[in-house]
Structure 1
Amino acid sequence: MTPPSLAAVLWDMDGTLVDTEPYWMAAETPLVESFGGTWSHEQALALVGLGLEDSARIFQEAGVRMGVRDIIDRLTDDVMRQLSQTGVPFRPGARELLAGLRESGIKTALVTMSMRRMADTVVDLIDFEAFDVVIAGDDATRPKPFPDPYLQACDALGVTPAETVAIEDSPNGLRSAVASGAAVIGVPLMVSIAGAGAHAVWPTLEGRTAADVAAVHTAHFSAKEPVR
């Protein structure tokens, strides 16, 4: 059977497209400490790729006496402030690959658990038309690791999951993308993605092209060995 053609690439944002995880961590510690608590690097790593509402509840358990929405707004404001000062901190090769996909006529979507206002800020700072669709944390019917955000992106793009490749950096994000039925590339950053189901693992996006992404898609849907 001929495998479906690659129609779209679905990008995670934090840690995959842009290296904003340190910004989140820098916002988390003073939040917890302002309520007399402590926050470790290990606790911060455990939140990578988790939906913001779930993360906010963990902060409440750590002693932050604020509502879920207030916690999300405070952290988002802090990260957006850092972005306004530094610009878009693209991961190596991410901008080039994204631009190459656009030039090749492949649709692109941003699928992030960050709030839409932050996702829109990042997209607006990119110096070309980067995405056809944005699915943010406040758009998702259920957060990652549920497949909903990726399925919503496919619906909005008018494609099936079998026509897509998703790119993710975290176990929660990978599980979400794999469950959606997409071919999935893992590009680890701060946490191990071993056992999370990536169909291909790339140490970096640097030097990667649209043809490389298409090769992963073809290999996966032809039931061949993953492309490494």
Structure 2
Amino acid sequence: MATWTKFYIKTDKVEELVQSLLKLTGNLNVLREQEFPNDIGKYRRMSLKPVYPNYMVVGQPQEGWVTVTHNSLSNLASWGESLSKQLETTCVLTSVQTASSTCHLGIYEKGSLIREIRVADTRHSNKGKALDFEEGLNPDLEHFDFSDMEAYCRCLGLELQGDYRSTKWTVLRPDELRNEMPDLMNEIRKMRPSLLQRILSRFRK
């Protein structure tokens, strides 16, 4: 697993969620009853600044939860707050990047962040009160990884990895998509040399 960027909404209101996503992103095309697209990983949003997704795949491989796969590497905290509040439910943000040793789990309940665990290289942070099931899991929060995240989500009744082939998906995307890596490299070249070396060292791991 090189990069994993998904969030999950505890709801059966797929169409209401799609409309909420369109309000957050603006003018995107909506393609319904699609197979899961294999090219979403080619169009990651690449920037040192926060950028929101412009390519999302929405479906329900697990009853009671809607999965949204997207192409942004940014923390979508404002989306977690907004969507969980609008739909009066739980929103779980997940992301993993093996190249930068980054893992992030954010759990939002009706507009409020109730738990967040983030690991980036040798740094880690966690917010919110430990959930009731955490004592039984006894996780090493300094080295929190995808398997830990899966265990947390199972305690919420959520399986992160479902059968995508048997699910029909709603795809939200613009008319044209492009590789944003050249834009990211231009941003990096404009940075101070010391900071540039620090960032590049992460990609060389």
TM-score normalised by L of structure 1:
0.26
Flag the structure with higher strand content. Answer: 2
Flag the structure with higher helix content. Answer: 1
